[in-house]
Amino acid sequence: MDLFDRMLELSGQGYYCAQIIMLLAMETEEKENPELIRAMSGLNGGLGFQGKVCGALTGGCCVLGYFMGKGEAEEMEDPRAAELTGALVQWFEETIGKEYQGCNCREILEENPANKMQRCPQIVEAVWEKCMEFLQESGLMD
């Protein structure tokens, strides 16, 4: 199954942007963590469906944190984590944000729910691919 089909399958199961991105990340490691996926729902639809910062972007930042962040007391955050997260935000602003005159769901969807079906899957896919590119370039993913 290709990436787009998998994303559509997850969407059909009731998951949204931030959750889908994290589910894809977990699948790369053949792991499951329903609590984490549940927590990601707070980012969906622009911070709890409030139309604020795009859940694909915040979800992508969380995916980078998932692979690079500090998770246990004895662990150290990867020193490149903040730089790569900043690069993801900058890339999003320069591409998606420029195209839709902002990085908020409200701006991206132009307050038209019909735009969700056209725009969101492409944005989620683009963010996922950018995250994987960053992680591969840093040697954290094959």
Domain boundaries, the chain: 3-68+78-137
Residue 27 pLDDT: 97
CA of residue 84 relative to chain centroid, distance: 13
Q: Are 21 and 128 in contact (CB under 8 A)?
A: yes
Alpha helix (H) residue ranges in the chain: 3-12, 17-28, 34-40, 55-68, 81-92, 98-100, 105-109, 115-137
- Note if the pTM is more than 0.85: yes
* Residues in CB range of 89: below 8 A, 6 or more apart: 57, 61
Q: Provide the token pair at 10.
A: 């997850």
Q: How does pLDDT run along the chain (142 residues), one tens digit per residue?
A: 899 999 999 999 999 999 999 999 999 999 999 999 999 999 999 999 999 999 999 999 999 999 999 999 999 999 999 999 999 999 999 999 999 999 999 999 998 989 999 999 999 999 999 999 999 999 998 7
C-alpha to C-alpha distance for 81 and 66, rounded to whole angstroms: 10
